[in-house]
Amino acid sequence: MQNTNQNKSPMGKIEKLSFLRLARLSLFQGCLGCLAVIFAGMLNRIMISELAFPAILVGGGLAFEQLMAPSRVLFGNISDSWPIKGRKRTPYIWLGSAGFCGMAVLSIPLIFITEKALRQGDWIPITTCSIALCILFSLYGLAVSMATTPYLALVIDLTTEEERPKAIGIIWCMLTIGIIVGAIAISITTRGLDGVTEVSQLEPALQRFMLWVAGIVLAISIFSCWGIEPNYLETKGSNTTTNREIGLKESWSLITSSPQIIIFFAFLVLYTLGLFLQDPILESYGAEVFNLPISKTTLLNAFWGGGTLFGLLLGGLWITPRLGKLPTARVGCWMIIISLIMLIASGSIQSIDGLYGILVIFGVAAGLATNSALSLMLDLTLPEVAGTFVGVWGLAQALSRALGKVVGGGLLDIGRSFGGQENTYLAFSFVFLLEIIVMILAIVVLEKINIRQFKEETSIKMETFMMAELDP
């Protein structure tokens, strides 16, 4: 059956998205990367190492951001159905940006209020502050969902099917660049806090820093989308194409029509979990095992991010086209396992230069595996219901990242209980070892993925829906 809506934008005929406009639009993704390294890196390390927060509380608070991922479906529907002054995407991007910037600013005083409650030891203030901290991270996650879902929808609106791979590649690389720039900026601006543990000095310095970051990020977010989205009121008249809506029941039937979908979902969960179990403890590993100051542990994300950026480009431009998607994913996963083994070994000899080099290798491996996983994700998606499938894949990644933040911190606490506070190296090695086991399981599941079988099974189900539409 011919698809009469192929390569048509839902907004009608639009101006082609030039490279310069795409580069400006991608600045928003760079801002998200910059804030991500602050929340998952700097604040994470300060709460665990400087303020002595329980790692499970920090990981749990950060996990609530990812647990808000299902709200992306809601915000996507709202942006589709409720334009504001003729714009379906831009107003929600700006509202979401204002929301997560505001939550970032409010996080600093709440963190130090929680620290005071923990220091005093009264369980009622501790419980209240812990709940408030989780709510704040939840609101931050909701704001990110409000901004990012219409943002990705805007990219789809402004590009044809042929243009989207280039657009997605540039935007994904800009996210990594934002992480690198954020890590370097944090390292420079927090250099004066090296060795500082007094709350009276940490709080005002971090509050000033966060105000500056939030202000700059909000300004860039507004600039990145300014004037790019066409006016829906002016363009909707030119789009006369009507599409049959596939309801929730039919979408779920499609999702469950092929065992390959469940297999790939399991691979994404295991792969993402194996990649991010170290996320909430990496900077604390540098602080407690290598005795690195704040400015140096923040650079760990820069080395990891630089390797990831190189791995994404290397995989997309050279390795994946030559080896294929499945073999490249396999190579990337094995490289991650090898780099984790090297990460454990570096702690035993406390080689700081070795640690930086290993993180570059770890980043390259993550970039290769992620590039091939994203390519597999596109292959395992039906164009007619791309939003449904991408939502399922995004949910798998978000939930496993949230689980990684909680489990990573919790495993560190368990490791400390067995190894003792005086031998933190064993506690961190315990987490890395379990991460290796999870990645091995991901490789086992990867071997069961069959793209041809997926296409045959889902195409049959899709044809059934289309034939039903023709019946009187």
Could you tell me the two tokens for 157? 């609106």
Alpha-helical runs (H) found in 159-198: 164-189
Q: What is the pLDDT along the chain (472 residues), one digit of tens a residue?
A: 334 344 444 444 445 677 788 889 999 999 988 888 887 677 777 787 777 788 778 877 777 777 787 777 677 667 766 788 888 789 999 999 999 999 989 988 988 888 888 888 778 888 888 889 889 889 998 998 888 878 877 877 777 655 665 666 677 788 878 877 887 877 777 776 666 667 777 888 888 888 998 999 999 999 999 988 877 665 544 443 334 444 445 555 666 677 888 899 899 999 999 988 888 788 889 988 898 887 788 788 778 878 888 887 788 778 877 888 899 899 999 999 999 999 999 988 888 888 999 999 999 999 888 878 877 776 776 655 554 565 566 667 777 877 887 788 888 888 888 765 557 888 899 999 999 999 999 999 999 998 888 878 777 766 665 555 444 4
Q: What is the pTM of this model?
A: 0.68
DSSP string over 228-267? TSPPHHHHGGG---------HHHHHHHHTS-HHHHHHHHH
**Domain range summary for the chain, segments of one domain joined by +:** 16-235, 246-472
Question: Do 16-235 and 246-472 share a fold?
Answer: yes
How far, in Å, CA of 148 to CA of 33, rounded? 12
- Condensed to tens digits (0 to 9), the pLDDT of residues 112-136 reads 888 888 888 778 888 888 889 889 8
Contact between residue 190 and residue 81 where contact means Cβ atoms under 8 Å apart: no
How far, in Å, CA of 48 to CA of 280, rounded? 9
CB contact set of 278 (below 8 Å; sequence gap of 6+): 285, 340, 343, 408, 431, 432, 435
- Condensed to tens digits (0 to 9), the pLDDT of residues 6-18 reads 444 444 444 567 7
How far, in Å, CA of 454 to CA of 81, rounded? 32
Query: In sequence order, what are the beta bridge partners of 87?
Result: 84
> What letter represents residue 82's amino acid?
W
Under CATH, which number does the domain 246-472 receive?
1.20.1250.20
Contact between residue 158 and residue 17 where contact means Cβ atoms under 8 Å apart: yes
Looking at domain 16-235, which CATH architecture does it have?
Answer: Up-down Bundle (1.20)
Contact between residue 368 and residue 275 where contact means Cβ atoms under 8 Å apart: no
Share of the chain above pLDDT 90, in %: 21
Helix axes 123-158, 90-120, angle to 10 degrees: 160
Could you tell me the two tokens for 74? 């809601």
| Residue 195 Ramachandran class (φ > 0 left, ψ -120 to 50 alpha, else beta) | left
